[in-house]
A and B are shown apart, each in its own frame.
Chain A
């Protein structure tokens, strides 16, 4: 592997981690609300949230460009107000990875929250607990396995994102070239040994992440 490949692997891990943290921060309250407080229009929110799962990644990437591109409304706003340009920047790779991995976390988190028996939460309320305490002490511990599994799936998906990342962040060596893009380059250039090394690293990280998700959790797992 070249020095650029090591940079690509580190960038991939950083992008996947940042995307996963973003997805958990945004997805957890939405998943909780939809699971626990059903409302008219929840189905639409679920459909939009899970759309990146069924769309071709390049379509997701194109739509992100339409929203966050330098000529797009949101893109212009971010650039003018905060000087933030997502396109051809590592932050664009984070955005692309977050959007494509969001459904995997969201579906898992929603299902985990919905599986927590309402009766446990009501019992805690009857004992004088606030909604905040019910969430932290009952709902979250009882759904933590599903949340961790969803987070890991999202991380692995973010780590391997290709199409949407390429569309939004491009393939700039040392800046936006992730391991998945470096693997594509190695394959196109016929550098089999380099490609195999990247496959081994990406595969090992994915297997380690899945093993981590499957570990028993001492407190909280049912």
Chain B
């Protein structure tokens, strides 16, 4: 396969970036999108040019490290019914000779570090603001000592599959990080261990989300459409319910 790429090149956070065209030859349809970029980078390195910087780690779709906007869709899922991360998107999804636009996540809270790499520490700050349980963990207790209803446990697990890749923010026309925040809130709010800090957590996490410069949610639904882990849009309603209840809770905040 021959693939024509238009890639966002930006030397560092301070410099202005632009789209640069590349032609990649000898692409196999079994390559992942990142392997195709590896191929291009080998070429660029041989030519003495700066290779394209992009984030990646496990390449198994479970770590949340990779993530680029491909042809305008976060992770490049486009119209495929299968949710995927960039590393699990294969070149067979594209036609031979296709021209593909590749851009980094674009969000005020995710400044570009270089080329396709963005700084996602804003997500870490949201977690630090309350996405945890304050207990002395000690050794693992007997699992049956804290009963959790099956339906709620399932919902918590579903929400906990969020890998924090940031596709929701990248896809949101408002640049909002609500799906990420809502997944973390729902994950902890559904479990017995999350109850003591449930309502203070939602306040501090949403406050940190807003302080980091993410936009507000207007229920458009683009986030859930690109989420590789299929975090449902209804987690945002769950967050809103907790946030409203928190206004009537005395929790020292």
**Are A and B genuine complex partners?**
no
